[in-house]
Structure 1
């Protein structure tokens, strides 16, 4: 590890030194672009390159160079090595027999210097990003090396054209290295992603050629051999670059033929790499390198075509970093579509520019303006969706609020298991998002209407609209029907906004979208409710446990789920509502203790305190019924006696309990005691709802090996067992059938006697020695 850090440190230091050296040359010496040839022992100006600064000076083709910086021309280094004049301050030239001095004080073409610098920074920045984001991937490190090679090529370009030996060594070496490193990257990448084995044996030979060429470039430091070797080195470098490109194309094409029939992600990757490689390298090869090899002159200067080289590595790195590699075909199509949209405005802009500056613009500048504008507008159109999304909270705040609320609601809908949860999960967000006074979800059954609401809304008025079938056309509400079938119909309604205005069209469309989500969720909840009731009936109708041991787990699961839900509700009530009431009472008491209140206000505050106490007592009783913790603390019989005594104060009938000799049941486990408590609880609830009795009696005793629980009332009774439990099941989800299920789960028996007008009697016997709660 330490060794790697040392190597990286040395490499970075060398890169920094090279960067400083090349930057020093760029800032101290303008690019002159003066090419010369030796004729009869004299150096003559052969060509003044239009990109160089010398085109602006008093120099002409055919001028004889006599002196450079006060020394004979043949002694100047860049003239002897490259037949070019760079890094000079002044010239003495002879023209038509007259000598005159030329001061080389013109500035370089800003675009010619800035463009390679920007390309270098982009390549180096991408290399750093890739190494940081994907440090543990070998293929990512090689892709970073491709970027680094490109960065050094662009760094060396500006020093190279100024006649610097080190710059020319760098640019020729790394241009040869670039396609080889990329081939190496492809081999490792496809091995990592798909176990495709590409031929890697050729890499050692290619790297060896680069090393040999680097050693031969030591001849650059020998003035008498430099120019001769340099002319051939350019041909070798460009030819090797084109060969490397063709070799990569051959490998990719062969791989493409191999996987083209497969419907797999690797096929998509190969197609994407092949296409982007063509787009990146064909322009510089066809318009710059190949024409220079064949004719000695490029169609377009490489400085203008080199930026296209960045298309592939930048796009590839972006797709890897953003996990969109397998969608590269889609990305390419989007870029092409953005380019097509950009063509018309770019053509108009270029035409107008040419018309306005016809006298000062040439074809290359027009091409640069056209290409640069195409690139910028295409990138802008491609990134429009991304930036619009990022800036949406500022550009379209209302739309952003709707989308955020929709995401939250749609996410929370998956957690709904009952209709009552709709208030906290859906209605609160709808009311707050639309800024309306209130909202409600209505369920219309055959015989009843259930309304869940939030905010300020006229519930009785809504019931009247439901009864009159005028809910959809109600003038003060926005109503949307969600479900409508035999079992029930459901509606979502909201009031006017708090500003007393109607919802806008956009808000109504958002509300329609919400209801499309709600329809499915409500139907699922309805099915869950029906399934739960059916499961409860099924659990109650199962045979005796001794005859159906393999399905006894079913009842246990049903009971456990019910108890967990009761305990959760009891805990929520205790930790939230009851605590809020406690702090409310303290606040009222502190206000009442102030001496500046009159007697009437004091009485009202005391009355409010008493009312809070009543609510608190009621909630405490509800919590106890949901989670009878006293079963564990004081036992079953005392808990039942205390429960019946408390209920006797609120029941419309005379309620009493007779307890005989009961000893053994207290030795049983907590689950058994909870089952018996729930049975008593259900019998009492059923009596309060349906019996219309004047007297209800519970009697408890132990007889031999049985725990006996008897219930008796003098109420209206009912015709048949089925009618009673079906009614109760439909109402509360518990009922007599669930009580029977508990008794059978413990191995007990129940006998019921009832008829209209004679009351109802239950006789329950549970074997004490065989009580099971597992």
Structure 2
């Protein structure tokens, strides 16, 4: 509660000061008339500010001021306190014995009205951003205080130059406070970021001096002492400001020489802070403050040089907020390089401007054009990379499309494990991105070729060109070699674009980059394919090996991988294709309700879609027999064979006997037996040429028996039928492998031309009575 009250109080005071200073600035113009007493103790104009309203009036330096708003000058508060004519509407001057009544109805230059207001708004925004987003950092809070202090200086500037008491006191108080807060910020900052301890004892002396000076300025309220105190106070304040700056620079120099060999990254930060601090403060000190102290006149108006002070706190706020603090040296190097690049064109532009408007151009305007243009061009050059990235979709749309496609393709390459995926995921994207009619990935082996095509491309023509070694350099195709080794050579082939033009230079460069990515992926896919072939060969040989029991883990992994892949495919079919068919059926039904004339044709289409859906549903069931868990093995096999009986070329029969109360097997065992039934039925369809096929389940308390029998052509049990590479079925040897995995036995009764009978016996691992 107390904290909220204090914050509310400070906000209220800030708002009151803002209203006071802003109303003073907007209500009165800045005249810029400075007076002094001559030898005859008469008030004469000693100086006219070129940015003030008086510079536009018919008054000159040396004119004697008789009256200000109808009163003698010594009775006017601004003259009595500050030796200036401000907040006045008219003055009476004497020049060469002639009196002139001059009405002050001109507005002052925007230098004293708009520029400080803009600088104040920038400081308030940065302070609010730091306090809102980085409350946990003590250094960030102090940097926010730096911004608030600068905002108060800019706020009071307009009122101060207009002779307002509040403005005068504010600007000198906060000008003295600023280097002290900077010093405090640096101590906390280096402690947070680099664990560098620096004695903060001097801070209490510095803050004491600032507050004592602020207390003494209460004497400003006593008019007889005001001007004398103000005259010496100005020199003291500016001198203290310079000393504070030198103290900050000294601290940074000492720290740098102390840790430059121990912490290279922190020494780099210190060096960059030293440089940015010098860039921010030296112009104000060298061109405004020191000349004011030494010769009583500024070389450059402090309004312009004080704006550079913003460079240091804004750059640090950006670096801290964006976590780029440790890249500060690189960032300053980039800024410096950008400024050096900008100097030449900005100098040429400024020279052309001066030459074109030499009769109507002041030095201030030339300086403003040069510094403003240099800053703007430097910032644009520094931010060019960011701007190009953001505007690339609009400035370089084709390049943006190619880069986006490259990111997508490179990301998808990590998921490729087969040539089918290579076509469906990668080749399709390449063809669509380049907007060509078609594309192909070609593998040339010693004894043949393999071509993966997408789009409109002649596969036979590509194969002929490949054999005749005329593919590379062909006028109708863009062909790039990807891999070349002893076993194969691969190519990426693209047709002409859909506009019947060849690929451009930029697109060929992109294609060349794609091939460099594909090179590694193609090699991996090829190795995966070889590994799969080797694994399939090994899996088919395992049941005949005497050491098969030693590689039980291998069989288990192979079966688990197969089941996972089947379940994945079934899920994909159910979630995509079957859902699409369902929505298609609904749309056709809705269309049939609206279009009565074509109702019969639409009903036929709906029935056809239903047939496809039913076929897919059966395929999903075969891939993932979920009913095993719900109704058990016997009922699932019965349902499966009943549905298959409608499509088989032979009579299909099924029976089950349970000599003992039915035993419940675990789900993996049931799934293995179901797969054996599937494979036996597939083999019967492909090879048996039978007229009758039967399956029989006989289950006892201790074992499960599956009997398969057909009256087909049979086979010689002495022949070892190895599974061919690339076959989709498991083969009899894979059935043996499953049986061996279940610790079962296989008895084969077969002879060529006399049918086949297989008896599979699997012992129960656990006996669970129903």
TM-score, scaled relative to structure 1:
0.86
Report the Cα distance in structure 2 between the residues aligned to 1:65 and 1:194, rounded to whole angstroms: 61
Which residue in 2 is equivalent to 1:64?
A: 64
The residue correspondences of 1:611-630 to structure 2 (distance < 5 A) are: 611-630=608-627
For residue 70 of structure 1, report the CA deviation from its aligned partner.
Answer: 0.9
Do structure 1's residue 766 and structure 2's residue 762 form an aligned pair?
yes
CA distance in 1, matches of 2:487, 2:728: 17
Deviations 1:636-685 (A, max 9, x none): 23433544565566668887777665767751111210122223434555
* Matching residue of 1:282: 282
Distance 1:560 1:167 in 2: 83
- Aligned residue runs from structure 1 range 190-229, under 5 A: 190-229=190-229
Counterpart-to-counterpart distance in 2, 1:190 and 1:685: 77
Q: State how far apart, in whole Å, the 1-side matches of 2:751 and 2:472 are.
A: 45
Q: Helix, strand or coil: the match of 1:71? A: coil
User: 1:633: Cα distance to partner?
Assistant: 3.2
Aligned to 2:80: 80
Correspondence for 1:640 among 637, 641, 653: 637
Q: What is the match of residue 14 of structure 2?
A: 15
Q: Within the alignment, does 1:746 sit opposite 2:746 as a pair?
A: no
- How far the C-alpha of 1:170 sits from its partner, in A, is 0.9
Post-superposition CA distance 1:67-120 (Å, at most 9, x none): 211111111112122222222222222333333323233331223433222222
- SS of the residue corresponding to residue 37 of structure 1 reads strand
Distance of 1:526 and 1:614 partners within structure 2 = 38
**CA-CA distance at 1:281 after TM superposition:** 1.6
Q: Does 1:188 align with 2:188?
A: yes
Q: Which residue does the alignment assign to 1:631?
A: 628
TM-superposed deviation, 1:450: 5.6
Distance 1:289 1:735 in 2: 96
Distance 2:305 2:78 in 1: 27
Evaluate the alpha carbon distance shift between residue 633 and residue 257 of structure 1 in structure 2; reply closer, same or farther with a 3 A threshold. same
CA distance in 1, matches of 2:639, 2:109: 99
Question: Are 1:747 and 1:771, in contact at CA under 8 Å, matched by a contact in 2?
Answer: no
Deviates more, 1:659-668 or 1:185-194: 659-668
Deviations 1:424-478 (A, max 9, x none): 5334433443334444445556677665555455556556656666555665544
Partner of 1:580: 580
TM-aligned CA distance change 1:278 to 1:675, over 3 Å:
farther
Cα pair distance change 1:260/1:664, threshold 3 Å = farther
C-alpha distance in 1 between matches for 2:257 and 2:137 = 27
Task: Compute the displacement of 1:331 (Å).
Answer: 1.9
Note the C-alpha offset of 1:132.
Answer: 2.9
Give the drift of 1:626. Answer: 0.8
How do 1:84-483 and structure 2 match up within 5 A? 84-261=84-261, 265-442=265-442, 453-458=453-458, 462=462, 471-472=471-472, 476-483=476-483
Q: In structure 2, the residue corresponding to 1:35 is in which secondary structure?
A: strand
Aligned to 1:32: 31
Moved more, 695-704 or 147-156: 695-704
Structure 2: segments with no counterpart, 5+ residues: none
Distance 2:618 2:102 in 1: 106
Q: Distance in 2 between matches of 1:569 and 1:122?
A: 60
Is residue 717–residue 760 contact of structure 1 (8 Å, CA) maintained in 2? no
CA distance in 1, matches of 2:533, 2:750: 24
Aligned to 2:722: 724
Contact map agreement 2:714 2:750 (CA 8 A) in 1: no
Paired position in structure 2 for 1:678: 675
Contact 2:663 2:701 in 1 (8 A): no
Tell me by how many angstroms 1:608 deviates. 5.3
Deviates more, 1:529-538 or 1:35-44: 529-538
Cα shift readout 1:599-625 (whole Å, capped 9, x = no counterpart): xx95x7677566545533432232122
Worse-superposed segment, 676-685 or 343-352: 676-685
C-alpha change, 1:576 and 1:365, in structure 2 (3 Å) is closer
Is the contact between residue 717 and residue 757 of structure 1 (CA under 8 Å) also seen in structure 2?
A: no
Identify unmatched segments of 5+ residues in structure 1: none
Q: What TM-score, normalized to structure 2?
A: 0.86
Distance (Å, rounded) in 2 between the aligned partners of 1:18 and 1:272: 36
2: CA distance between counterparts of 1:162 and 1:243? Answer: 28
Deviations 1:516-565 (A, max 9, x none): 33333333344444555666777888899xx9999977665554443233
For the 8 Å contact 1:720–1:755, the answer to whether it is kept is no
Larger mean CA deviation between 108-117 and 170-179 belongs to: 108-117
**642-651 or 227-236: which moved more?**
642-651
SS of residue matched to 1:408: helix
Aligned mates of 2:718, 2:465 — CA distance in 1: 36
Asked whether the 8 Å contact 1:63–1:95 carries over to 2, the reply is yes
Cα distance between partner residues in 1 of 2:340 and 2:748? 83
Alignment match of 2:664 (pick from 667, 683, 687): 667
Residues 492-513 of structure 1 deviation map (CA, whole Å, 9 limit, x = unaligned)? 4444444444433333333333
